[in-house]
Amino acid sequence: MKKNLVAVPVYNEQKYVARVIERITDHAQCVLVIDDGSTDYTPMLLAMQQVDVIRNKTNRGYGTALRIAFKWAQMYGYDWVVTMDCDEQHEPEALPTFFQAIEDDDADVISGSRYMCPERCGDPPPIERRRINHTITQWVNAGLGLGITDAFCGYKAYRVSAMAELDLTEDGYAIPLQQWVQFAAHKLRVREVPVRLIYNDPNRSFGGPLDDAGHRLAHYREVFERELARHPGLAKLSVSDLMHPPCECGAAI
């Protein structure tokens, strides 16, 4: 039996945090919450939960929160860390699916896919987010020779020893672009499992300029290009060949 940690980055999640953590603890014994500088009642609500909490004084970004979770898992001898959001878009009831995939022991990264589940299992995604994620999934598949269906789902399980080999530096939401390139560079085995597509807040803010879809896609492209440049010879196609316009079909972030 593997030693698993469930890690939950949160930022101003007073609406959801208490009930989400309670649902998580129905399925997991070891839970770490990374409070990324919340300015609402989230810290007080977390103080009433029987989980470990790391609190950043200021907001340092989603990528930073993930790196903190990986380091915690390494320090305390966990075999795997499962990351999930706290806004009820990742169902704690799906944790047993990840735990079973972990026990199968045939992958280094187990990535949730919102597009392996039948349409009836999900909500219709906002169009611009569907376009962006479809485009990025195409980049990842064409550029790295992968066959994934969902490049931007944050519901994932990571083998801790494998993550210790990576050099992740992205602080914000673009960290998946860096991860996919490094997964390929280190020849990590990736497996997808189905999770429900849930959108409670179609108007979710990504913060500042990233709320503009065009700016957000340009930022993701910059991060992907930069990471490919750090691993010359890895890409199956040139960057210019990869960067074609998004189409209407596909996935969403």
Give the CATH number of domain 4-123+147-205; options: 3.90.550.10, 3.30.499.10, 3.30.160.70, 3.30.365.10. 3.90.550.10
pLDDT in tens, 117-156: 755 455 566 677 788 889 999 999 999 999 999 999 999 9
Considering the entire predicted model, what is its pTM?
0.89
- The pLDDT value recorded for residue 212 is 72
Separation of alpha carbons 171 and 107, rounded Å: 26
Which residues, given as ranges, of the chain have pLDDT below 70? 118-126, 199-207, 210-211, 235-253
- The pLDDT value recorded for residue 240 is 58
- The pLDDT value recorded for residue 205 is 63
Of all residues in the chain, what percent carry a pLDDT higher than 90? 75
Of all residues in the chain, what percent carry a pLDDT higher than 70? 83
